[in-house]
Amino acid sequence: MAIDNKKYDYLFSNLKTQTIEGIYIFGKDDQYLINQNYSSITNLENQIWSDLYINLELVLDQYSSKEYLLGIKSLPIPRDRFPDFKAISPIIKNSTGWSLLPVAGFLDEELFFEINAKKQFPVTDIIRKSPRFDKKYHDRTIKNEEGYTPEPDIFHDIQAHVPFLMNKEFAEFLADVGRLGHEIIVDTRKLGPELVAHNLKRLQNFAWWTYEFGVIKNNGNADSYRRNNNDIDYEIYGAGIISSCDETNNIIQCAKGKSKRSKFLPFDIEEIIMTRYDFSNLQERYYVIDSMEDMYKAYYKNKSLFFYEG
């Protein structure tokens, strides 16, 4: 895969080694499509979902963005048991044209962007900390000492990402990112594998610092949707934050000045696409957008940044 090419990596700042050792990565030629077998879900798996959901429910109600709050309220995502893809997918389809595509795990970027371009969102059907999850990786360790792993799970995919697909602007934006990723990979501009790899990493950085780990300036406009007013300067919209209790609490503690672990930086598209990330720990930085509209505008206006020619 093109991602192995490192010739232009010296251009990135904050470069972290990124190994996904041991994780299965599914490509086009693999059996990556699955059916959610809802009747096989165990009480323990429902309990894990419920514990994760309830732990985050109130805190997200207070600190997540309006798009998220509206999305989660409009979908049948249960708090006490696994979500049923068949109940959720038609509602999103009806609203923004996206549908859920159950997949076996982590997809390579070629497949991922191609699927997104078709307005399909890949979702996994197993949950962290469950015997089924452990069984998948019974012969290897894919976590660091603190238990972090980049292996996707149903909680991250459904609880954190999927609510945003109910928002028309976001849904169009995400499909466009898919098309752009696909355009980079098929390399119609004949830039060659090294530059394709570099440009793909730029797009991955963009995705990471925006819809995976981004925050929005809190202007108080979403408080009417909350039970308690948001009392920090930021709203959370990154799905990597939303599905993590530790990451969400880290944002709140840092925003309240109770921790100095991470900093909040102004969003600058040229900076974020050149800033690599470490997915094995809490983020040391969060980029702050003024509004979702500002982030979309920056993206649509600066697509040429993803076709660096060397």
Which residue's beta carbon is nearest to the bound Fe ion?
239
Backbone phi, psi, residue 260, to 5°: -115, 20
Task: Pick the closer one to Fe ion by CB: 154 or 239.
Answer: 239
Task: Pick the closer one to Fe ion by CB: 118 or 226.
Answer: 118
Q: Which of 111, 114, 116, 156 is nearest to 133 (CA)?
A: 156
Number of residues that bind Fe ion (CB under 5 A): 1
Q: What is the nearest approach in angstroms of Fe ion to the Cβ of residue 40?
A: 25
Q: What is the nearest approach in angstroms of Fe ion to the Cβ of residue 207?
A: 8
CA distances 96 to 110, 173, 222, 307, Å, are 23, 11, 22, 28
DSSP β-ladder status, 234-236 and 215-217: antiparallel
- State the Cα–Cα distance between residues 3 and 249, nearest whole angstrom: 32
Q: What is the nearest approach in angstroms of Fe ion to the Cβ of residue 157?
A: 7
Q: Which of residues 238-277 bind Fe ion (CB under 5 A)?
A: 239
Task: Pick the closer one to Fe ion by CB: 101 or 195.
Answer: 101
The one segment of 61-69, 184-192, 234-242, 271-279 that binds Fe ion by CB under 5 A: 234-242
Chain position carrying tokens 């995976």: 212
Q: What is the nearest approach in angstroms of Fe ion to the Cβ of residue 243?
A: 8
The one segment of 63-71, 174-182, 233-241, 293-301 that binds Fe ion by CB under 5 A: 233-241
Task: Pick the closer one to Fe ion by CB: 180 or 207.
Answer: 207
Residues in contact with Fe ion by the rule CB under 5 A: 239
